[in-house]
């Protein structure tokens, strides 16, 4: 081995001893509660496919139709020749869907939510070079953190959901462009940001509010319009980011905002401009996903999720465990140590239950947790099986 490889190997071994080494498991069937992983049939509480659309036959049929109509790939970036009719139709549909919450809305489809966060943060900050400040919640998603780093702006991190701290930071800022950015539903805790209070602050201080609704779009609100519908928010200062690989079951993300904001992103957002457009077939399939989210059936699926959440709230607790209060399908069980959480996940897997163990740096050290996520395609029996297994685990540990 060369010296360079030795350095990496030593680092990996260190992660191993700390219980922090990450390993992938290989799923051998479609994303669904009952699936096959590493050759074993399991009941999964792992995915962000909250409405069960990832393997829905209507969505997969639309994907096939999209491939027939538009081929497998887009062939180029959006500003060259890769922008297809399917992308355009999806953007129009999404802008209409979010219209009750935005002024002169338009939408932009991007390849991933990760890139969407980079795109918005870098492009908005670039409007006033050297004179932008980003205010970011301490528990924001890694893609937001990376976006703030790439934006070449001053970055102020405020304590999690701490509205007075955010207000104090906004009050002393003299930046020309102020951008407040927050997850709506925090991905590892499942709690919801106090968006009405945060938006009121943004309006008072002339700041943009970027809402990352990765876990809210499709799930929150009567029609599944997400966090903005959940709180009945409307503002020209809102920039909304929704992802399309979670509740929508496919892939990609979108930004919805005032038409001028979207036009600016097309001019300046490098993560949008300098990459090959996502396959048009994905956008075509997403038209079906959005129609399902916006349907009576979508409402029924959201109602089922709420029933399952309620059922899970009877989760048995070992003295050292902590169930985080969550009104979303993300239901974390904080166990604490890395070794303990790995042992718990392994014990569940031996009973055919697949729940992921989340450790630092994804969550703060000492708060390693089982991140249980529910899908509308889980049944009451599925959740009962999980509760039984947790009960046994709590008694034994
Ligand atoms: C998943 C996620 C993203 C990234 O979206 P992708 O489409 O998976 O790249 C961004 N923000 C939050 C809060 C997320 O949970």
Exactly one of 47, 111, 187, 251 is catalytic; which is it?
187
Mean pLDDT of 311-340: 88
Please name the residue whose Cα sits nearest to atom 5 of ligand 1. Answer: 113
Helix (H, G, I), strand (E, B) or coil at 193: coil
Could you tell me the two tokens for 164? 């007075």
Beta-carbon neighbour count of residue 30 at 10 Å? 13
**Ligand 1 atom with least separation from CA of 215:** 15
What is the residue with the minimal CA distance to atom 7 of ligand 1? 113
Gap from CA of 184 to ligand 1 centroid (Å):
12
pLDDT band at residue 1 under the 50/70/90 scheme: low
Look at the domain 23-52+296-396 and name its fold: 3.90.1150
368-373 and 356-358 strand pairing:
antiparallel
Tell me the per-residue pLDDT of 233-275, one tens digit each, with 9 for 90 and over: 999 999 999 999 999 999 999 999 999 999 999 999 999 999 9
- Report how far ligand 1's centroid is from the alpha carbon of 3 (Å): 36
34-37 sheet: strands from edge to edge = 34-37, 40-44, 353-354
pLDDT of residue 394: 85
Cβ-contact 209, 163 below 8 angstroms: no
Domain ranges in the chain are: 23-52+296-396, 57-293
Question: Domain 57-293 carries which CATH code?
Answer: 3.40.640.10
Give me ligand 1 centre to Cα 111, in Å: 11
Give the C-alpha distances (Å, rounded to integers) separating 368 from 78, 341, 393.
41, 6, 16
81: buried, middle or exposed (CB in 10 Å: 19+, 13-18, 0-12)?
exposed
Residue 341 predicted with pLDDT over 70: yes
Nearest-CA residue for atom 10 of ligand 1 = 113
The answer to whether 161 touches 145, Cβ cutoff 8 Å, is: no
Q: Is 143 a catalytic residue?
A: no
Residue 396 scores a pLDDT above 90: no
Asked if pLDDT for residue 9 goes beyond 70, the answer is: yes
State if pTM tops 0.85: yes
Catalytic, out of 78, 178, 215, 258: 215
Confidence of residue 146 (pLDDT cuts 50, 70, 90): very high
Q: Is 246 a catalytic residue?
A: yes
Fold match flag (23-52+296-396 vs 57-293) = no
Specify whether the CB–CB gap between 237 and 207 falls below 8 A: yes
Q: Is the pLDDT of residue 210 over 90?
A: yes
d(CA 187, CA 228): 17
How many Å apart are CA 141 and CA 146, to the nearest integer?
Answer: 9
Mean pLDDT of the chain: 96
Name the residue with higher pLDDT: 318 or 296. Answer: 296
């Amino acid at each position: 081995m060369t010296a360079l490889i030795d350095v990496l190997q030593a680092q990996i071994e260190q992660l191993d001893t700390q219980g922090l080494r990450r390993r992938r498991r290989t799923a051998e069937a479609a994303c669904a509660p009952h699936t096959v992983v590493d050759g074993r049939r399991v009941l999964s509480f792992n995915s962000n496919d909250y409405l069960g659309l990832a393997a829905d036959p209507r969505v997969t049929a639309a994907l096939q139709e999209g491939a027939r109509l538009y081929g497998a790939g887009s062939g180029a970036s959006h500003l060259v020749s890769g922008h297809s009719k399917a992308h355009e139709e999806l953007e129009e549909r999404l802008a209409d869907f979010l219209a009750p919450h935005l002024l002169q809305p338009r939408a932009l489809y991007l390849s991933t939510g990760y890139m969407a966060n980079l795109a918005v943060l870098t492009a908005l900050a670039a409007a006033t070079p050297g004179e932008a400040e980003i205010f970011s919640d301490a528990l924001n998603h890694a893609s937001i953190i990376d976006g703030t780093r790439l934006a070449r702006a001053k970055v102020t991190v405020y304590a999690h959901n701490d509205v007075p701290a955010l207000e104090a930071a906004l009050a002393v800022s003299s930046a020309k462009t102020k951008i407040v950015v927050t997850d709506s539903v925090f991905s590892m805790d499942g709690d919801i940001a106090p968006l009405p209070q945060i938006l009121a602050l943004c309006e008072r201080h002339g700041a943009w509010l970027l809402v990352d609704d990765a876990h809210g779009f499709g799930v929150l609100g009567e029609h599944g319009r997400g966090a903005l519908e959940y709180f009945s928010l409307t503002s020209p200062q809102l920039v909304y980011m929704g992802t399309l690989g979670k509740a929508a079951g496919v892939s990609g993300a979108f930004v919805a905002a005032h038409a001028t904001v979207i036009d600016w992103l097309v001019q300046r957002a490098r993560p949008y401009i300098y990459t090959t457009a996502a396959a048009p077939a994905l956008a075509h399939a997403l038209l079906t996903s959005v129609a399902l989210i916006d349907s009576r059936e979508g409402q029924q699926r959201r109602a089922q999720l709420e029933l399952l959440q309620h059922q899970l709230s009877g989760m048995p607790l070992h003295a050292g465990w902590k169930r985080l209060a969550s009104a979303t399908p993300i239901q974390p069980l904080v166990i604490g140590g890395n070794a303990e959480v790995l042992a718990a996940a392994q014990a569940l897997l031996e009973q055919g239950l697949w729940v992921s163990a989340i450790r630092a740096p994804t969550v703060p050290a000492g708060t390693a947790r089982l991140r249980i996520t529910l899908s509308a395609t889980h049944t009451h029996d599925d959740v009962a099986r999980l509760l039984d297994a947790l009960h046994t685990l709590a008694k034994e540990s």
